[in-house]
Each structure stands twice: as C-alpha cells, then as structure tokens.
Amino acid sequence: MVDLKNKVALITGGGRDIGGEISKKLASIGVKVCYNYFDSDEKGDATLKSIKDNGGEALMVRGDLTKQKDVDQLVKSCIDAYGKKIDFLVNVTGGLVGRKTMEEMDEKFWDFLITLNLKTVFMVTKATLPYMSSGGAIVNFSSQAARDGGGPGAIAYATAKGGVLTFTRGLAKELGPKGIRVNAVSPGMIATTFHDTFTKPEVREKVAGSTPLRREGKANEVADLVVYLCSGESSFITGASIEINGGTYFI
C-alpha cells in the first residue's frame, strides 16, 4: 500500500461521492485531509465520521468556491490546521447544474457553469500554490464530456471541462521545473449523485451495457487513481489526462 503519512491534501468537493471517496482513501494511508463541501452537510459529516472512525485525520470546511473569500478561507483553514504546506491539491468541485440546449441557455447560465467547473480550479490552485513545493501534485477533474462534447444539453459543462484539460497541460509546463506535477482525471459513467440527478435510468443502463466492462464505474475506483497520481508511483507523469470510463472512449 502507498504510504503518504503526514502529507497534507486539500480536496475541493471532498464531502461526497467521488470527492468523499478520495478524502477517505487519502486519510486511510496517513494523509492529513482538508476537504471542502458546500451543499451536502449530511454526506460531508458522514465522510468526516468515517475518516475519524478509521483513525484518520481530517478537517471539513464549508464554502462556495465560486467566491474568492471562501477560497481564501478554505486554504487558510488548511494551513492553520496542518502547517504552512499543502502537498496535494485535488480539484473535484464542479457540476452540470442542469441540461440546457443553446436555444434554452442564457448568458447567466453559461457564465455560472464556466465559473463552477473551470474558474474555481484556477482560483483554488492560485491560492494553494504558495504553500506547495517540490514533490507536490495537483489532480484536476475533467470529464469524458471534454472529449466527446457531453450528452444532450451539456455544452457549457463539456466546454468548461475541456478548459480544465488545457489548464492542466499549461500548468504542468509551468510548474514542472519546480518539481510539481499536474494531471487530470476524466471520468465517464460513474455511479454518483451526478447521474442519479441528471441521467435517466434507461440512459444509464444503455451506456453501461455498451461499455466493454458492461457496468458503471465506482467512486472508489476513481479515488484509487487519484491516490496513484498523488503518490511517487506516478513520479514521471505530468500534463496527462487519465481516462477512467470502462472503455467507452479511447484516445
């Protein structure tokens, strides 16, 4: 098992689903975890309880990461709790919000989706970098939608996630000489609240059935990939987007 004892990780959207599994997995191997949540109090509390019940160390911070003051408070809470260093940053925060075609979409909706899925990555990364040094790792969350344009009504979401891929590559070049690696994870159909809310059961069944592995992915499988990208086991990987979709999309 990878040992990252006494490292510090900041995880946005770390209270539930994929983010929650990442928080729990990192804490289980000795990482001090500071995770953000916004509108999932019950699940955020459950994640914290699970970590502590299993002997891990974690801090939960509520905040709306589309607001600079909440971003600053998240980073401050993390360094106040665990010292002025952050070894790993995992940018999970994002969401589809709603499915809207170009005809249905207005400028306000477009701007919010871009802010939620792309600008938050920029804001949190910029606030975190002063506390990250050589050996650090950043893992951003893109999506299969960035590759294939997304499903019906997901143009804004897919566009933002495509931006995350480009941001990841550019930042990898910028931070590589400092010894900091930057990668992206691009999930396909993973069994989460996201698809419970925005994807019809018959569509999920069809997608899972057409996947070479004949199933949806699991949040803990994505968490395992993130742990690998944070660890020294992936020390020569940077600027990459790792597709985790059961074979539904190849690059």
The pLDDT tens digits of the residues spanning 31-45 come to: 999 999 998 778 899
Q: Residue type for 209, please?
A: G
**Percentage above 90 pLDDT, the chain:** 83
Burial class (CB within 10 angstroms; exposed 0-12, middle 13-18, buried 19+) of 239? middle
1: number of Cβ within 10 Å: 7
- pLDDT, position 1: 63
Q: Over 90: is that where the pLDDT of 250 sits?
A: no
Tell me the pLDDT of the chain averaged across its residues.
Answer: 94
- pLDDT, position 172: 98
- pLDDT, position 191: 86
CA atoms of 158 and 156, how far apart (whole Å) = 6
pLDDT (average), residues 2-26: 95
Q: Over 70: is that where the pLDDT of 81 sits?
A: yes
181-187/8-12 β-pairing: unpaired
**Percentage above 70 pLDDT, the chain:** 99
Three-state secondary-structure class, residue 117 = helix
- pLDDT, position 192: 83
- The predicted model scores a pTM of 0.94
pLDDT (average), residues 140-153: 95
The pLDDT tens digits of the residues spanning 164-220 come to: 999 999 999 999 999 999 999 999 988 887 777 777 888 888 888 888 998 988 999
- pLDDT, position 241: 96
- pLDDT, position 189: 86
Written as six digits, the tokens of 7 are: 């490292």
Residues annotated as part of the active site: 157
CA-based nearest residue to 44, from 73, 74, 14: 14
- pLDDT, position 111: 98
64: number of Cβ within 10 Å: 14
Structural domains of the chain sorted by starting position, each given as residue range(s) with its CATH number in brackets: 8-188+219-241 (3.40.50.720)
- pLDDT, position 207: 82
The pLDDT tens digits of the residues spanning 98-122 come to: 999 999 999 999 999 999 999 999 9
